[in-house]
Homo-oligomer: A and B are copies of this chain.
Amino acid sequence: MITRFDKLQTELPHPDHPSPNSAAAVQELLGGKFGELSTFMNYTFQSFNFRGRSEMRPFYDLIGNIAAEEFGHIELVSYAINLLLTGTTERGDDPAETPLASAVDARNTYHFMASGQQALPMDSQGNFWTGANVFSSGNLKLDLLHNFFLECGARANKIRVYEMVDDPTAREMVGFLLVRGGVHIVAYAKALEKLSGVAVGKLLPIPDISNKRFPEAKKHEAKGLHQILYRMSPNDYKEISKIWSGTHPEDGSALRVVDGPPEGAPVPEHPEEPQLTSPIGPDGIDKGILQEMATRIFGKS
């Protein structure tokens, strides 16, 4: 079970230059084979499926707890996409004026047909995320090795999206996730190390470039965000500290568990796109109409 907070893990600035193709590229980090849906679903299923958890509880707690943080990551990427898409077509109430004309040349037309300029669980080519991306063999060493590899692959994609899109919304999101994903890489390296005695963490960084080369990641690491594993539960997953301890393999700083989720930031509002009848339309273009409608339905708030 979960409870939900109407917050983002970190604050996202508004974009300097909204762009459908930037949004299309960022989709890889949401619904790609190595996107956040993959990490979220892999660890979620591995936690449901974990055998022998009474003896191996620290591993169970680690996987289940990281899963919970990943929900916040699909949320963060989705909001970045939505911010990049908002306002990219012509607002108006007359369909004959071809308000979506610019969408004809966009790389991903689903953003304008299947959604109202919003995120969908697909990748940068518009191919939908599939459950085939979930690996859950039941063998602990193999599942941990998979997770370590998955996080490294996810890191490679984050780096490449960062290098493709210079909008501050995208970069703030990627910078933050490089750090938090980096925590998960180290966590799985530590878990493998516990299980086997092999210093897997010494393979890092994979790919061979430090987070500190990315300004939006560096600023978070300067504050020690890469040293923290949040315990995303009021009362459970307490044995993560048996794995998340000691020092960071890249900079030697001390690792620590923080109880509870990060404080978070407000979720951005997404304004109406009346030409997409979102949420109603097209007469909703005049903000007052939507408010009047709400008052009629729910009374004065």
Give the docked Cα–Cα distance between A282 and B163 (Å): 12
CB-based contact B25/A161 at 8 Å: no
Query: A21 to chain B: which residues have CB within 8 Å?
Result: 104-105
Give the docked Cα–Cα distance between A251 and B8 (Å): 40
Complex: chain B residue closest to A121, CB-CB: B131
Give the docked Cα–Cα distance between A102 and B118 (Å): 23
Contact digits for A1-25, partner B, Cβ 8 Å, 1 yes 0 no: 1111111110000000001011011
Q: Given contact pairs A55-B291, A109-B124, A137-B278, enumerate 7 new A-B contacts (beta carbons under 8 Å).
A: A1-B7, A45-B119, A52-B284, A139-B276, A139-B281, A140-B278, A196-B202
State the number of copies, please.
Answer: 6
Contact status of A141 and B203, CB under 8 A, knowing A51-B271, A56-B290, A283-B208 = yes
Most chain B C-beta atoms within 10 Å of own C-beta, residue among A67, A118, A139, A161: A139
Query: A109 to chain B: which residues have CB within 8 Å?
Result: 24-25, 28, 107, 124-125
Give the docked Cα–Cα distance between A94 and B136 (Å): 23
Total count of chain A residues near the partner, CB < 8 A = 154
CB-based contact B282/A138 at 8 Å: no
Contact status of A142 and B207, CB under 8 A, knowing A2-B68, A6-B64 = yes
CB-based contact B142/A4 at 8 Å: no
